A and B are shown apart, each in its own frame.
Chain A
Amino acid sequence: MRHLSLLRISVAVIASFYLVAIAAEFFAPYGFAVSDREHTNCPPTRIHVVDESGHWHLRPFVYRYVELPGELESYQEVRSQRYPLEFFIQGAKYKFANILSGRRHLFGVASPASIFIFGTDEYGRDQLSRFIYGARISLIVGTLAAAVALFIGLGVGALCGTFGGWVDVVIMRFTELFMALPWLYLLLAVRAILPLRTSASVSLLILLSVVALVGWAKPARLFRGVILSAQELDFVVAASVIGGGKWYVFRRHVLPQTGSLLLTQAALLIPQFVIAEVTLSFLGLGVGEPIPSWGSILAPLARYESLALHWWLVLPVCAVVPLFFSYHEVTSILQRDDIPPMM
């Protein structure tokens, strides 16, 4: 029972990440490319409940930050004016999927104050907003790539299982080849032979294909195993004795047997593929600027001087932990209890 509630919490966490990523325009207080030149490298905005005179306020508020005269990128609060935190605030315009346009954001503060929960980077871009938009790229690329890899893996496994013979042998050798290379080297090598500087949508496509291409081998082997043993099951054999053709037997009896594996593999692969995307972006081989991805948000940190001076840049790192932790929990619960797909 404890497992089930833990499972539910994990799934809820994962779902919320995806929700925020999809509706990024609403959840992010600012756009991802918006630069505030007056607040570059600004630390996270402090949220107060007690004001200067010691009064408590029900609604949290922030102060406006101004640069200290003479000192670059040192900020102090202007305590004269409180800017309460507002929800469903009317902020900058956005266009969701190029169809819906709106102005409402989940939260924000009135200008000229800003609310930088994760601080800003060297260009004055709100890190939280970039994190949320980055989630969109990283999560979507990772999830889609995992879906593609699983699809290919299932298809290839089915080919091996139903045809057998030399088809099986050749394909298995292929998977061995792909699995013999260290995955990151393979990933980068395949990425390398494709054009480096392309438009955003082409980059996305390249990213997706490369990640999926590198990851299809292991699932293929696993699916093949499941399909081979499923074909030995008595009721599957019975179906062909009755007169069912190969495709019928596969569709009606063998395929449902792969459901459990599909689920566990999905839970396992999606985070791995998200990490692959993050790694690629981190190394500068993902989607180009200005579209952020979790990897590209952290790329500047490789220069550890910025890490030393601007500690808040590491916050996105902590923020992704709940997501991966939840995926990890889901995976271990699925592998432990083998919960049937009818959940």
Chain B
Amino acid sequence: MSVEAAALALRVSNLNFQYKKRLTGEIAGIGAAAGLADISFEISAGETLSIVGKSGSGKSTLVKCIVGLVRPDSGDIFIARMDYLHAAGPARKAIRRKVQAVFQDSASSLSPRMTVEEIISEPLAIHRVGNAQSRRERTRSVIDAVGLPYSFLTRRSAELSGGQRQRVAIARALSVEPELLILDEPLTALDLSIKAQLSNLLAELQEQFGVAYLHISHDLFGVAALSDRVAVMHGGRIVENADRTALFTNPVHLETRSLLAEML
């Protein structure tokens, strides 16, 4: 179900969500994770939108909605022009393929029992892409793209460094050729030098594969290097959404200014 002529990797409209107590359905009180209030934004194909905000601003909740871990109370999510919230069964799964994620903690987001090859090809297996042969080839091509040698395919995640693990996570995410890649604080846990390497890698991969990024971060470095646009979240709302240069040179909202002050 296409929506508009412009190729939008992601379109979120009027998303609302509040955390409720299990079983009773009561709205969770103060201290619970932040909800979402009327969130709307778009990401064009091949573009990077960075969402920044303090902890408790609702960033993680937003990510959970988009990856399908949490169901919003109201609103729409269009992934690759397809209506995610109203899809069911196999259609839903097909949409899931279009958006993949890389998380902050690579050590725990990669299964310790699987080899690198198994990890990277897992999305291919889940979405039944091609046959064993083509999957192997795809895995090899994508691990090459993230700059790791083929010999790594037989290793396990415990044998890799933080930066190498993140590369594997990125490879895994890219294996099924998603249109949107969610990067949830991907560089935060890494050393400074590795941060730079990986940031460059992400930029290269975006050029190479034309994939859009939704970058969640409070890390100045990542935001400045990667983003086309930046949105600021506060209290479950998007308080500012602007071009990167514009945001840095002329921040409007109080929250934006406060964040920039912190970062700098």
- Residue ranges of A at the interface with B (Cβ–Cβ < 8 Å): 164-166, 169, 233-235, 237-245, 248, 253, 256
Expressed in whole angstroms, the minimum distance between the Cβ of B23 and any Cβ of chain A is 7
- Given A165-B23, A169-B23, A235-B109: A243 and B101 interface contact (C-beta under 8 Å): no
Q: List 11 A-B contacts (CB under 8 A).
A: A164-B22, A165-B22, A169-B23, A234-B105, A235-B109, A237-B109, A241-B100, A242-B126, A242-B172, A243-B96, A253-B111
A241 touches B110 (CB 8 A): no
- Residue ranges of B at the interface with A (Cβ–Cβ < 8 Å): 22-23, 67-69, 93, 96-97, 100-101, 103, 105, 108-113, 122-123, 126-127, 172
Q: How far is the CA of A253 from the CA of B126 in the complex (A)?
A: 13
Considering residues A164, A165, A237, A242, which has the most beta carbons from chain B within 10 angstroms of its beta carbon?
A242
B123 touches A243 (CB 8 A): yes
Shortest beta-carbon contacts, A-B, top 5? A234-B108, A243-B96, A235-B111, A234-B109, A241-B67
Q: How far is the CA of A233 from the CA of B127 in the complex (A)?
A: 22
Tell me which residues across on chain A come within 8 A of B123, comparing CB atoms: 242-243
- Given A234-B105, A235-B108: A243 and B23 interface contact (C-beta under 8 Å): no
B110 touches A235 (CB 8 A): yes
- Given A235-B110, A239-B122: A245 and B93 interface contact (C-beta under 8 Å): yes
Tell me which residues across on chain A come within 8 A of B113, comparing CB atoms: 256
Tell me which residues across on chain B come within 8 A of A238, comparing CB atoms: 101, 103, 109-110
A166 touches B23 (CB 8 A): yes
Q: How far is the CA of A253 from the CA of B69 in the complex (A)?
A: 17
The closest CB in chain B to the CB of A233 belongs to B108
- Given A165-B23, A169-B23: A241 and B68 interface contact (C-beta under 8 Å): yes
The closest CB in chain B to the CB of A169 belongs to B23
The closest CB in chain B to the CB of A249 belongs to B126
Tell me which residues across on chain A come within 8 A of B22, comparing CB atoms: 164-165
Q: How far is the CA of A166 from the CA of B93 in the complex (A)?
A: 27
The closest CB in chain B to the CB of A242 belongs to B123
Tell me which residues across on chain B come within 8 A of A242, comparing CB atoms: 96, 100, 122-123, 126, 172
Tell me which residues across on chain B come within 8 A of A253, comparing CB atoms: 111
Expressed in whole angstroms, the minimum distance between the Cβ of A72 and any Cβ of chain B is 68
Expressed in whole angstroms, the minimum distance between the Cβ of A198 and any Cβ of chain B is 45
Q: How far is the CA of A238 from the CA of B22 in the complex (A)?
A: 23
The closest CB in chain A to the CB of B112 belongs to A235
Expressed in whole angstroms, the minimum distance between the Cβ of B166 and any Cβ of chain A is 13
A241 touches B101 (CB 8 A): yes
Expressed in whole angstroms, the minimum distance between the Cβ of B146 and any Cβ of chain A is 17
Expressed in whole angstroms, the minimum distance between the Cβ of B25 and any Cβ of chain A is 11
A243 touches B97 (CB 8 A): yes
Q: How far is the CA of A252 from the CA of B126 in the complex (A)?
A: 11
B127 touches A241 (CB 8 A): no
Q: How far is the CA of A166 from the CA of B23 in the complex (A)?
A: 8
Tell me which residues across on chain B come within 8 A of A235, comparing CB atoms: 108-112
Tell me which residues across on chain A come within 8 A of B122, comparing CB atoms: 239, 242, 244
Tell me which residues across on chain A come within 8 A of B126, comparing CB atoms: 239, 242-244, 248
Selected from B23, B69, B111, B112, the residue in CB contact (under 8 A) with A241 is: B69
For the A-B complex with A234-B103, A238-B110, A239-B126 known, give 4 more contacts whose Cβ atoms are closer than 8 Å: A242-B123, A243-B93, A243-B96, A248-B126
Expressed in whole angstroms, the minimum distance between the Cβ of B224 and any Cβ of chain A is 27
Expressed in whole angstroms, the minimum distance between the Cβ of A260 and any Cβ of chain B is 12
Tell me which residues across on chain A come within 8 A of B111, comparing CB atoms: 235, 239, 253
The closest CB in chain B to the CB of A238 belongs to B109
Q: How far is the CA of A244 from the CA of B97 in the complex (A)?
A: 10
Tell me which residues across on chain B come within 8 A of A240, comparing CB atoms: 68-69
Expressed in whole angstroms, the minimum distance between the Cβ of B123 and any Cβ of chain A is 5
Q: How far is the CA of A256 from the CA of B108 in the complex (A)?
A: 16
Expressed in whole angstroms, the minimum distance between the Cβ of B256 and any Cβ of chain A is 29
Tell me which residues across on chain A come within 8 A of B68, comparing CB atoms: 240-241
The closest CB in chain B to the CB of A243 belongs to B96
Selected from B69, B105, B112, B127, the residue in CB contact (under 8 A) with A243 is: B127
Tell me which residues across on chain A come within 8 A of B103, comparing CB atoms: 234, 238
Q: How far is the CA of A216 from the CA of B34 in the complex (A)?
A: 40
The closest CB in chain B to the CB of A236 belongs to B111
Expressed in whole angstroms, the minimum distance between the Cβ of A131 and any Cβ of chain B is 44
Q: How far is the CA of A239 from the CA of B101 in the complex (A)?
A: 10
Q: How far is the CA of A256 from the CA of B113 in the complex (A)?
A: 9
Expressed in whole angstroms, the minimum distance between the Cβ of B176 and any Cβ of chain A is 8
Tell me which residues across on chain A come within 8 A of B93, comparing CB atoms: 243, 245
Tell me which residues across on chain B come within 8 A of A233, comparing CB atoms: 108
Expressed in whole angstroms, the minimum distance between the Cβ of B175 and any Cβ of chain A is 9
